[in-house]
Structure 1
């Protein structure tokens, strides 16, 4: 697979682990699970380990790829990198020492910016003080529903240079969202044949909360059977404005 990414808020992907297990409603239509099944059928060596059929699937068993740790050293030009688009670095079966190795690679390649996203915010918080946090690492948690708001509290306790939320697929309003200590929020609806519709009010609520808190906002897509307005630049700004803490708001 190419390391270049079609994800609108990043430029490349790097998967030192692959595979995962369902932990919340946001996992129900997981794109990575679907893709891993296809890659297994194609014979891709990274996706031959099957996961538990109750929580995972073909080719999606949690697997460490030590050979992938050298990949970022070969990138000549600076890039923004989504770490583990096909896994979760803070999965319980990823050893702490391996997480440290990933962080060491990030620290060794300061010309790149790395975005790590997890749904396992509790483990993230529990081991955060045993990790060295490079300045070029952005740490985020997925918050798809009000039920998952405690993940934001966990993230608040992590000493990352940039802390962000991915409210995608957004499955309901995020009443009570507290953005203290956050720097950036991504929001978007679900896409695919079994998509769960997003309401415009849910998106605008998050946007307005970001505006009030002075937090950058990126709207990714409305979703649907195929993505709609995918990557639309609200107000002409993108994630690249993050270092200046600019807000990404809709025109008008």
Structure 2
């Protein structure tokens, strides 16, 4: 289980926990589950995708000298119910000590993340764990004080889960907050009406580069979303992503001045990209996500005409690439690459 990675938005991975369980449609074809179950019983994943603490991996980042963006728990969810509070505190203690790295923590367990990171006793546990790990003078996070080098994110595959998870993220103490819309399974509108009361005195939207709320709510509280990642699904059962879903999120970010990162198309691309071979599988994809496979040029289910659907082709992740409208989108919070 090497720490190097091909994930475009990070430099390396760190897995002090492995294993997880499905909680929403974005989990249906989990890449991490596929890897872990393939090697179940072997030295890397003796328990497959069952949740497993890996304390021998806990201090790895302390030995990495080169400052890096580190995706924490790429093979699990740190806030899974089976991970004890005390162990999560140890993970955060390592991140506090390894302040030369930037840690990216992504979860679908938004409720537990918000609850845990909003408690003074949790941050006191982080401080004590840092001392136990040998830190001579750890940063004092004994009260709620999210480390500046830890980015917190939630996965939002469609509007339903965006409306559930993003408000919890916005209500979680964090230095940097991000949204990962991958696999993107439907359109998402990041409009403020979804996330704040309408009497919020002048707020223009939820995604804002400003760390001070324009509406006067709780001075010093960071309310905005700082980064949006978008990507299509890969793997043998991959579901296609409509290009208009990705374009909409890109345009919303551009309007709000928020960094946008287009990770990949996944297995499918619009036929108009001209990346397919003659025999590449084809389908009609409607804006609502309905897929009608094509056989000999005709859909296998009604309606039989294309209508407003686009034609998509399965070309594979590598060939599909990550170019959206003629360019790559590799933006990061703070302008860093």
After TM superposition, the score normalised by the length of structure 1 is: 0.87
Is 1:71–2:162 an aligned residue pair? no
Provide the rounded CA distance (Å) in 1 between the counterparts of 2:155 and 2:191. 13
Is 1:136–2:142 an aligned residue pair? no
**In structure 1, which of residues 188, 191, 207 is the aligned counterpart of residue 234 of structure 2?**
191
Is 1:169–2:167 an aligned residue pair? no
Q: For 1:53-111, what per-residue CA distance to the aligned partner results, in whole angstroms no more than 9, with x for missing partners? A: xxxxxx01111111111111111211110000000001111111111110000000111
Provide the rounded CA distance (Å) in 2 between the counterparts of 1:94 and 1:192. 28
In the TM superposition, 1:192-207 aligns within 5 A as 192-207=235-250
Report the alpha carbon displacement of residue 230 of structure 1 after superposing the two structures with TM: 3.6
Question: In angstroms, what is the RMSD of aligned CA positions?
Answer: 2.0
Q: Stretches of 4+ moved more than 6 A in 1?
A: none
Q: Is 128-137 or 202-211 further displaced after alignment?
A: 128-137
Q: For 1:101-151, what per-residue CA distance to the aligned partner results, in whole angstroms no more than 9, with x for missing partners? A: 100000001111100000111111111112442110000000001110220
Q: For 1:24-44, what per-residue CA distance to the aligned partner results, in whole angstroms no more than 9, with x for missing partners? A: 000000000000012225x12
Partner in structure 1 of residue 167 of structure 2: 153
Structure with the bigger percentage of helix: 1
After TM superposition, the score normalised by the length of structure 2 is: 0.66
- Equivalent pair of 1:114/1:138 in contact (CA under 8 Å): yes
Provide the rounded CA distance (Å) in 2 between the counterparts of 1:25 and 1:237. 26
Partner in structure 2 of residue 55 of structure 1: none
- Equivalent pair of 1:10/1:82 in contact (CA under 8 Å): yes
Partner in structure 2 of residue 81 of structure 1: 70
Partner in structure 1 of residue 110 of structure 2: 121
Provide the rounded CA distance (Å) in 1 between the counterparts of 2:320 and 2:228. 17
Partner in structure 2 of residue 5 of structure 1: 5
Report the alpha carbon displacement of residue 231 of structure 1 after superposing the two structures with TM: 4.6
- Equivalent pair of 2:23/2:108 in contact (CA under 8 Å): yes
Where 1:138 maps in the other structure, the secondary structure is strand
Q: Is 227-236 or 117-126 further displaced after alignment?
A: 227-236
Provide the rounded CA distance (Å) in 2 between the counterparts of 1:85 and 1:230. 21
Provide the rounded CA distance (Å) in 1 between the counterparts of 2:96 and 2:2. 23
Provide the rounded CA distance (Å) in 2 between the counterparts of 1:91 and 1:229. 33
Aligned length: 234
Where 2:245 maps in the other structure, the secondary structure is helix
- Equivalent pair of 1:115/1:137 in contact (CA under 8 Å): yes
Partner in structure 2 of residue 18 of structure 1: 18
Larger radius of gyration: 2
The 3 A distance-change label for structure 1 pair 142 and 34 is same
- Equivalent pair of 2:19/2:51 in contact (CA under 8 Å): yes
Provide the rounded CA distance (Å) in 2 between the counterparts of 1:34 and 1:3. 18
Provide the rounded CA distance (Å) in 1 between the counterparts of 2:178 and 2:20. 21
Give structure 1 stretches of 5+ with no counterpart.
50-58, 247-252
